[in-house]
Amino acid sequence: MTTFDKREQGFEAKFAHDEELMFKAAARSNKLLGLWAAGQLGLTGDEAASYATTLVTDNVANQTMDEVLDKVSGDLAGKGVAREQVAAKLQECLHAALQQLEAKE
């Protein structure tokens, strides 16, 4: 195996690792956002967990972050929570999710 082949394998492994990390971070941040939104909606226990799980599973089905933001913003509109607040919370959740995942490595 040449040095070039080793280098190519290294880049491919890093790309795969980074993609997996981002997938896990998105799922975890959606769950954190879902739990926060459930609290804003007055949901507790199984209802809160179900709401958060729905955000995660819907995202796995090729839902974008904008679509997640739209759904949560729409759900919270009646509670007086602005889209900008939800977007800020989503960024906070993504940051927390990345920290949690990096701590595991």
* 34-58 pLDDT per residue, tens: 999 999 999 999 999 999 999 888 8
Candidates 58, 7, 62; CA nearest to 31 is: 58
State whether the Cα torsion 100-28-76-73 is positive or negative: positive
The two tokens of residue 99 are 């920290």
17 has a pLDDT exceeding 70: yes
Share of the chain above pLDDT 90, in %: 57
90 has a pLDDT exceeding 70: yes
The two tokens of residue 82 are 């602005």
| pTM exceeding the 0.95 threshold for the entire prediction | no
Domain ranges of the chain: 64-105
